[in-house]
Amino acid sequence: MILGRKGCETSAMRKLASLLVVALLSLGVLTGCGGGGGGNVKELTVEMGINGEMKFTPDVLEATKGETIKITLVNKDPNVAHNFLIPAFNVNSGQVPPGQTATVEVKVTQSGEHDIICDVPGHREAGMVGKLIVN
């Protein structure tokens, strides 16, 4: 009888070990299916002053609320510095000299349409504006 009982204990231990392995594997799979909250960055490129024109290309950017966007700014104007501001998110690239690039990064936390401007004197009035649309 003792032998039979020991066999039951061994069988129970094997079942427990199997369940533990399945539980740990399931936990690993679920962890891998996380919401992607921390590391996703949407990369965008905006060209400024192509052929000396006072505009952003593209002049409409789209993002999802909660997303982080990294915008590479390329000043294509051969003679004039520009900047890139999104006042609603306190984004200001500072002056980007002719032929140079700059990068800004922002976590978009507000839905809606937000102004993008170049506030170098006269540029906004000449049409150097855009929109960031956050869904």
Instruction: Identify the CATH assignment for 41-134 out of 3.40.50.300, 3.40.190.10, 1.20.1050.10, 2.60.40.420.
Output: 2.60.40.420
| Over residues 88-107, mean pLDDT | 97
Give the phi and the psi of residue 116 in degrees, each rounded to 5. Answer: -120, 135
Instruction: Give yes or no for residue 76 having a pLDDT over 90.
Output: yes
CB atoms within 10 A of CB 71: 22
Lowest mean pLDDT among 7-21, 27-41, 105-119: 27-41
CA separation for the pair 124, 130 (Å, rounded): 10
| Over residues 62-66, mean pLDDT | 96
Return the domain boundaries, the chain: 1-34, 41-134
Question: What pLDDT does residue 40 have?
Answer: 85
Q: Is 26 helix (H, G, I), strand (E, B) or coil?
A: helix
Average pLDDT over the chain, rounded to an integer: 84
